[in-house]
Structures are given as C-alpha cells and as structure tokens.
Amino acid sequence: MTPGAQVAAAIDILAAIDTGERPADDVAADYFRRRRYIGAKDRAHIAGHVYAGLRHRSALDWWIAKHPVDIGPRSRVLAALVLTEGWRPETVAGCCDGDRFRPASLSEAEERLVRGLARHTLRHPEMSRAVANDLPEWLEPHLEQVFGKELEREMAALNASAPIDLRVNLLKADRATARRALAAEGVAVERTPWSPIGLRLAARVPLGGLAAFKEGLVEVQDEGSQIATLLVDARPGMRVVDFCAGAGGKTLALAASMANRGKLVACDVSAHRLERGTLRRAGVGNVERRALTSERDKWIKRRAGSFDRVLVDAPCLGIGAWRRNPGDKWRITKDDLADLLVRQQEILRSAARLVRPGGRVVYATCSLLHEENEAQAEAFLAATPDFSVVPAARAWHDTIGGAAPGGDRYLRLTPARHGTDGFFVAIFEREPCPTAS
C-alpha cells in the first residue's frame, strides 16, 4: 500500500469507531479481516495512525479548533501526522491527492492547518491540564486525587503504546523453555521484572503463527494481570472460582497455578466467551464453564461457602488499560462511573458468598481511581465483618517472593511506576470456623 492508502484506511477506521459502539481494536480487527490483502507492515502503519488519533484526540481537537476545519476523523489524522508523527506539510499533501485508494486533496483550510501545525509541538502552554494530558475533563479531579504532581508522568505513560507481555503456561513449559522455543523462531524476549512467569516481546510480531503460541507454551497477558492472578494463591487441589471470567485469560493462569488439579469454575454472564479450543490448546482440563444470569444467580446461593478462592476481576472504567485501548477514554462518562460503583460492590459481595470459612476472595480492577479501588475495598469490609484484609505485601511475599512494589495493605500498579497496565488488587479472608473446645 502507498502511504496515502494507509492514511485513507486510518481515516475510515476512525470514522467507524466514532459512529459505532464497539471497542477500537475490534473495529480495526474487523476492518483488516475483511481486507486480507493488507499485509502486516501496512497494518502496523495504519494502526499507528489510528492510535495516534485516539490517544491524543483532546490535544489534536484543541489545535484543529483554531482553524476553520471540521473536527473529525480526517482532520484528526491530518493533525496527528504533523504533530505526533513529524510529517512535513508537503508529504501530507502528497498523500492526499484524490487518486485511487488515497484521501481527497486537501482543501485550502486543511492546507493552512497542516502548514500552521508544522510550526508547533503537540502540547501548548495555553491548554488546560486535561487537554494537555489527553484525558476527559471530568476525570481530571479524580486522577489528580490519586496522583497529584505525578499526574503528568502517569498520563504520559498511559498515552504511550504498551509492550506485548506473554505468560508462560506452566502446564507445558517453564520460562527458560518457553524463551528458548521463541528464540528458535527468531523471537527475542526478555523477562518481565515483576512476574516470575512473564516474558516481554522485544518487538511486535504476529503471534498467531508461532509454534510456541499454537502449542500453548505461552499466552498473551499483561504483566499486571499475571500478578493479580498469582496473588489469588490458587493451589493444586483447591476449589476456585473465576467470577468474571470474560474471555478466560485469568482462568487459564489459575488452572496453571493449580497444576490442572482441583476444580476451577469460570463464571460469566456471557456464556461462550471462554472457548473450548482455547482450553485445549493450553492443556487445561479442570475448568467448568458456568453461565450466570447475573451476580445474583441461584447457582451462587446453592454453592455458598464451598470454595477456597474466588477471583473477582470486576468490570470497571478500564483506565489502567488505556495504553492498549485509548479509544475507551472518550466513551466513558460520569454516569458510567456511578453505575459501576454500585455494580462492583454488588458483584463483590455476591461473589464473597461462595467463599468457605478460612477462604479468600480477591478483588481486582484495571482502574486507577480511588473510588473503584480502595474505596470499594473499605466499603466491602464495612459491610462484611466476617472478612478481613490479607495485606498485599504479605500475599506477595508468600506467592511471588520478595517485597511488593506497589503498596502494603492493597496492591496498586501503574504504567509509569511499574511498566504494567494499571492494576489494583485487594485480598480478603473469611474468618475460620471456631474450633471446638
């Protein structure tokens, strides 16, 4: 593809994202799936244009608004080419000549836009703090409460692209074996700094064609997510529930921690998100898939008090995953937060009913907000006096070893401080039954 055709594709994808309800990565994947002729290198260039427009939408719109040009997918791509990718105005104009598969020629206003932007950088002193950090205005006070003077550093990390982390499937390999297998296919990786079962790709590669992936030696999973699963402390022979299993990334990790021994129930309101083929490839044989009608499903009442560990990877605003899903930040609203705060507490309290005396429920989010994290943990403790906190530092020492990097009472990981997605983990233990005297 020509550079102009790549730009045209990026504009088309951004337009589809703006007019639909699906996540940006789903829209892009669908676009490429219907155009098999687009090669891997072209896809990478197109995705780069798309994600620049999504990550920096607020700052780009600020600049575009200073010109008589409509704010939308086309103008955002044009502005991003200049301000984030360093294209010269004549290069942009050359790609937009109206030829087949290329964008229409620049209007006079668009020519003035790209020429004017070439004299500037993306950030400007007159921008508000929210615009300069490319985050929704309504979220700024919530994040300032958490990060204070570190807000700029954390937002810069969230606005960068994320590395690709792999979790070694301990049912089939250890980290050294998986690393050798990847090296044999020409894939360079390094050990993740916090997770003892993680590998980080040195460069992006198409994972689907790798033997190490097809044979189930590795799975894609962010290091923060790996850590959250390890802190569950699921052991062989235990009865464990992954309460909000989704597509099953944490379910697979729990099964590996359990060495395929014991009972692992993957629950979700979407019945078939965890596919049997995924379980087979990973060599997992101890998982029961359980579709729930809601967090108040009758199955919970019937199984109350019968599980050693319950993981609640709660639905949240997903701020900690903005590196991977930058489009999500422009979709979430104050109302979404209010609804989630109610739902998170309902889910956590309902899931906790499954825990036996002496067992644990682990609450995790990929959010960075105090309201979704520490505040929810404290509210749960106030409402359920038979549970107490297991300090995250102690759980880390017992499961991973060494000192926890992100808190004592609860674990909080951030992209800037730890190089992971943003993650929060709180561990609660139900008091054991009193012993007979």
Cα separations in angstroms, 43 against 26, 60, 161, 317, 328: 14, 23, 16, 28, 21
Question: Looking at the chain, how many residues does it have?
Answer: 437
Cα 313 to Cα 426: distance, rounded to the nearest angstrom: 11
Q: How far is CA 150 from CA 125, 143, 417, 427, in A?
A: 18, 10, 10, 27
Q: Are 235 and 260 in contact (CB under 8 A)?
A: no
| Catalytic site residue from 244, 267, 316, 366 | 366
Neighbouring-strand partners of residue 199: 166, 191
Q: Cβ(308)–Cβ(239) under 8 Å?
A: yes
CA dist list (Å): 64 to 74, 76, 156, 329, 345: 11, 8, 21, 20, 41
Give the three-class secondary structure for 215: coil
CA dihedral 302, 233, 228, 149 (to 10 degrees): 120
Q: Where do the H-state alpha helices sit in 205-353?
A: 211-214, 223-230, 249-257, 276-282, 298-302, 334-352
According to DSSP, the residues that pair with 242 across neighbouring strands are 266, 311
Identify whether 267 is a catalytic site residue.
no
CA 113 – CA 61 distance, rounded (Å): 12
Dihedral sign (CA 118, 120, 126, 132):
positive
Its sign, for the CA torsion 98, 99, 103, 108, is negative
Contacts of 68-77 spanning 24+ positions with Cβ under 8 A: 68/109, 69/107, 69/109, 69/110, 69/113, 72/15, 72/18, 73/11, 73/12, 73/14, 73/15, 73/18, 74/11, 74/103, 75/110, 75/113, 76/14, 77/7, 77/10, 77/11, 77/14, 77/49, 77/53
**CA angle, residues 248, 254, 256, in degrees to nearest 5:** 110
Distance CA(170)–CA(284), nearest Å, equals 11
Catalytic residue list: 366
